[in-house]
Structure 1
């Protein structure tokens, strides 16, 4: 997302945490990426049955091989 918007990853992180908010022009770009109105990005409308235009990746679970062994 950060690369696509031309901002630092820490900037996107601060938006996600609610520590900062994007400028209106950036909010428009975010809305375009997800194919939603800017009002959704601004929190004025809820999202319902909207498919994102940006691919959503899923990653398979990888077992790291850590096991808890009780101490005797």
Structure 2
């Protein structure tokens, strides 16, 4: 898709603003590392969907958010 197919919106960041933010984040991370900070790199562990249904995921999530025996 080219830029002629995209309707411009006025609340989106410009490319220059995105570049400035990228540079600012890179500087912040570099300063963090220089001061002894450590970044933990996490792996990508996909969910094995063959062993659990969507309903079990939803109900399990609900159970973990409520007290045992309490009903929503």
What is the TM-score when the length of structure 2 is the normalising length? 0.23
Structure showing the higher helix proportion among its residues = 2
Structure with greater Cα Rg: 2
Higher relative contact order (CA 8 A, sep 6+): 1
What is the TM-score when the length of structure 1 is the normalising length? 0.23
